[in-house]
Amino acid sequence: MDSAHPEFMETLQNFQFIRQLNEDTHSKSITLLGSIADEKTGKEEQSILLVEKLHFHASEIPVLVSSRLQSPKLTFNNDIYHWYKSNIKNDESIPDIKMTLIYPATEIHIKKYSKQEGVMVRETPDMYKQVVLPYIEGFPTSRIQWVYNILDKVQESERIVFEDPDKEHGFILLPDSKWDQTTMNALYLLVICHRHDVRSLRDLRSQHLELLRRIQREIPKAVVAKYPHVSEDQLKLYIHYQPSYYHFHVHVTHVALSSSPGATVGKANLLDTVIDNIENIDHEYYAKCTLSYVLGTDHGLYEGVQQYLNAPK
């Protein structure tokens, strides 16, 4: 608290709204342009006001429903799902809160909606060899049968957007199941390579540069040809580490999807950076580097990583 400036206590009350500059509906924040008259000179000065809803306060959570909400209104229900809107107690009619009630709820619902804890892991080349590689090699191939079904056109062949059929350097492009295929700001596709022997980012060497460069060159063209409302420079291509399955694939999203958890640093590795690292920095970059990422405590690797870290060195 800077108590030397009590005048700013009054300043905000003099804010005259001009226009909205921006908003973020995910974080519930708005940015407003206004003017404030200087208290001494009367001169109008431009000012910007960022307003953001605050998160719930820990102390209010146990009593939120019983004492802080005012006359919740049911807006819709379907089976065990019930949707409401409500106000935090106040004298106005604009709703401040939306709620989904799942009732009755099973243990599966409870697990699904419970917090997954994560910890930062620094995977050195040695940790990869001792812990991660055996984990990958123990993966039943049945877990990636669905990938082979796509590559062999047994499944989802009608969804293929583009194919480079080269068995060594080629790949298939298709929409990710998370994408509705209409909202361009949420564009999300997947590139799955034809060759079966690249398990992850860790396996990439200079022999794979041709595959990586073809993806970098051909995918933006193919996406824009199919979805002309996006441009090539609005696409972000990245590789997950750890991936959710160990057959090399690349995520293709709109740059506006920057706050999706899958685009977070550590999990996502830009294709451009990967190519630059192998081509211009060191051909053996992914054999030598330490890869840092958040590992969920319920991930299959978690226990092995903890044992490795706690083992006497």
Question: Cβ(224)–Cβ(301) under 8 Å?
Answer: no
Tell me the CA distances in angstroms from 179 to 38, 101, 186, 189, 280, one per residue in order. 50, 26, 7, 8, 34
**Strand, coil or helix: what is 305?**
helix
- 127 to 156, contacts with its own copies by CB under 8 A? 155
Answer for which of 141, 145, 290, 307 binds its own copies (CB under 8 A) is 290
- Among 40, 41, 42, 90, contact with its own copies (rule: CB under 8 A): 90
Q: Which residue(s) pair with 269 in the sheet? A: 239
Using the rule CB under 8 A, is 25 a contact of its own copies? yes
Identify whether 5 is a catalytic site residue. Answer: no
Given 39, 122, 143, 225, the residue binding its own copies (CB under 8 A): 122
Question: Is position 229 an interface residue for its own copies (rule: CB under 8 A)?
Answer: no
The neighbouring-strand residues paired with 310 are none
Taking the complex as a whole, the smallest distance from the CB of residue 45 to its own copies amounts, in Å, to 4
Decide: 95 and 112 in contact? Cβ < 8 Å: no
Instruction: Considering only residues 241 through 280, tell me which ones interact with its own copies, judged by CB under 8 A.
Output: 255-256, 258-261, 263-270, 272-273, 276-277, 280
Residue entry with tokens 């994408």: 179
Residue 103 vs 137, nearer CB to its own copies: 103
Is the CB of 268 or the CB of 301 nearer to its own copies? 268
307 binds its own copies (CB under 8 A): no
Catalytic residue among 240, 247, 249, 251: 249
CA-wise closest residue to 147 among 158, 156, 139, 138: 156
Q: 212 is written with which tokens?
A: 């990586």
Stretch that binds its own copies, among 63-71, 130-138, 140-148, 165-173 (CB under 8 A): 63-71
Binding to its own copies (CB under 8 A) within 177-216 occurs at 180, 182-183, 186
Q: Does 23 bind its own copies (CB under 8 A)?
A: yes
Q: What is the DSSP letter of 86?
A: E
Hey, is 219 helix, strand or coil?
helix
Task: Please tell me the distance from the alpha carbon of residue 251 to that of residue 263, in angstroms, as a whole number.
Answer: 9
Q: How far is the CB of 225 from its own copies (least distance, A)?
A: 18
